[in-house]
Structure 1
Amino acid sequence: MTSENATAAGPDELIPRRRRRRGRGVWALLRDILVIVVVAVLVSFVIKTFLVRSFYIPSGSMEQTLMIKDRILVDELTPRFSGYDRGDVVVFRDPGGWLPVTTTPDRGPLVESFDWLMSLVGISAPDSEDHLIKRIIGVAGDHVVCCNQLGQVEVNGTPIDETPYLDLAEGQNAPQVVPYDVTVPEGSLWVLGDNRDHSRDSRYNMDQPSHGFVPLANVVGRAFLITWPLSRFGPIDTHHAVFEGVPEADG
């Protein structure tokens, strides 16, 4: 049975329906893309906050282990359980007075917002200039002295041969001697740069509030991988073998 009200829609009536369906499809696609982006940003934020962070190297204090503008990844999670060892390369916030006071030029809200977004996903590392990276030489309780007659650092009375990672000039057997005799307090580290003669490290900050030590609370994590440039891609050597003969600190 048919009626006049049940007649098939004409071509003019089908066009709006098609447009509505197409419009709903576009909005659904945009919604899905937005959800994917938000989830990706949240996941990247969690990873950066609790697992891994990206930094770039702003100075030559760790050459030749790390070169200026190298990009590295820092493990934030593992040290929370295992702690830090002598030889680890660590990134840390300035304990106070280690870095010169600088002013950051105003880059405008658009650039700042974009940089902030890129930092959330680990592509940008805008706070690299506010952090330092050095190698751990002494952990809590260690007695660290510079230097013996060969120019070697001694840890708990044992000289260590740092030639596997020190950046020494041709014909140079040891870095310039900067005398110190310290015992690392609980919850702190004593750190030095691999490019020892061009590193403002623990030795040069003994007159600062931290007395040259780095509080563990300031340590971001352990640097473990160079990601850029690709020609330098690879793990960062901790050289733990250098410290194998060092006895534990006296309790």
Structure 2
Amino acid sequence: MERRRGRRRGIWAIVLLVAGGLLVLGGAIRGAMTDQHSEVVYDKRTIPSENMRPTYEPGDTAWFSMGTDGGNFEVSRGDVVLVDVPEWVPDGPLLSRVVAVGGDRIEYRRGETTLRLNGAPLDEPYILDRSRPSSVPFDVTVPQGRMFLMGDNRMNSFDSSLRPENDQGTLPKSSVIGEDVPRPTGLLVAGGAMMVGAVAFLGGGVLGVWALVVRRRRPEPVAPVWPAA
């Protein structure tokens, strides 16, 4: 009798190849179903300051859609955005909230407990101290194509309300480089499945080659078992 070398390795190679292929295929399908705009780039960042408390605490992790090449962000009131403003923050992007957009009149009258947007009180449930919506009074009509930004921690935020000397504190929409989004769990799961599947598939391939090499070697004879005298 002869023992077939590499048989177990061959079986495991097939198992890994099939499982790896299914994981890669499943991850690709899950990713395509989760995000119809696969060209969008997501970025994970750590919040460095207190200007967006309580929405983001220092040290929190936030996810951002960084847009597409040549694409523009559709900025709306209430959006939390990353803006590139070297004249305000020379060492990196600023995280802030869009309070008003082109055509809006945004104002704060000292002693009031809300901002006024186009003459009406603005409800802002996201700010840290709802009784103090700004540290300074202002009255700004936002030009078209621009926006007025404020942090959620109004008493500790370097934002449009404190920059009246530069276009009344407004910024062009083109300065937006990212917009905060929920954690893209579906894409992360899909990416993890594809990575694990690729490793399993590669391992199955290596194991299969090893099994073939072992099988080509001369098989070891198995000594017969003689019955007891």
Report the TM-score, using the length of structure 1 for normalisation.
Answer: 0.52
Distance 1:221 1:48 in 2: 16
1:83-162 aligned within 5 A: 83-94=74-85, 96-99=86-89, 129-147=91-109, 150-162=112-124
| CA distance in 2: counterparts of 1:206 and 1:48, whole angstroms | 39
Q: 1:224 deviation in Å? A: 1.3
**Is the Cα contact below 8 Å between 2:114 and 2:131 reproduced in 1?**
no
Which of 45, 57, 60 is residue 67 of structure 1 equivalent to?
A: 57
**Deviation for aligned residue 1:177:** 4.2
Shift in Å at residue 51 of structure 1? Answer: 2.4
1:148–1:154 Cα contact (<8 Å) kept: no
Deviation string, structure 1 residues 3-35 (Cα, Å, up to 9, x no partner): xxxxxxxxxxxxxxxxxxxxxxxxxxxxxxxxx
**What SS does structure 2 have at the residue aligned with 1:159?**
strand
Q: State the alpha-carbon separation in 2 of the partners of residues 159 and 200 from structure 1.
A: 23
Task: Quote the residue 1:212 is aligned against.
Answer: 169
Distance in 2, Cα, partners of 1:66 & 1:226: 14
Q: Look up the SS of the partner of 1:63 in the other structure.
A: coil
Of 150, 167, 172, the match for 2:128: 167
C-alpha distance in 2 between matches for 1:92 and 1:196: 18
User: What is the CA–CA distance in structure 1 between the aligned matches of 2:171 and 2:110, rounded to whole Å?
Assistant: 24
- TM-score for both structures, normalised by structure 2: 0.56
What residue number does 2:178 align with? 221
Letter in 1 for 2:120: T
Cα gap change, 1:176 to 1:140, in 2 (>3 Å): closer
SS in 1 for 2:144: coil
Q: Which runs of 5+ in 2 are unaligned?
A: 1-36, 185-229
Hey, what does 1:55 align to over in structure 2? 45
Q: CA deviation at 1:152?
A: 1.1
> Any idea what the Cα deviations from partners look like across 1:103-148, whole Å, max 9, x if unmatched?
xxxxxxxxxxxxxxxxxxxxxxxxxx50001111101111111137
Q: Is the 2:67–2:177 contact (alpha carbons within 8 Å) kept by the matching residues of 1? A: no
Unaligned runs of 5+ residues in structure 1 are 1-46, 102-128, 228-251
Q: State the 1:85 CA deviation.
A: 1.2
How many pairs align? 146
Larger radius of gyration: 2
Aligned Cα RMSD in Å? 2.7
Distance 2:61 2:38 in 1: 15
1:90 alignment partner AA: V
Deviant stretches of 4+, over 4 Å: 47-50
After superposition, the Cα gap between the structure-2 partners of 1:200 and 1:226, relative to the gap in structure 1 and judged at 3 Å, is farther
**RCO comparison, higher one (Cα < 8 Å, 6+):** 2
Aligned counterpart, 1:117? none
Counterpart in the other structure of 2:144: 186
SS in 2 for 1:173: coil
Which residue is 1:126 aligned to? none
Confirm whether residue 200 of structure 1 aligns to residue 190 of structure 2.
Answer: no
Instruction: Give 3-state SS (helix, strand or coil) of 1:178's partner.
Output: coil
Distance across 2 between alignment mates of 1:197 and 1:205: 15
| SS of corresponding position for 2:162 | helix
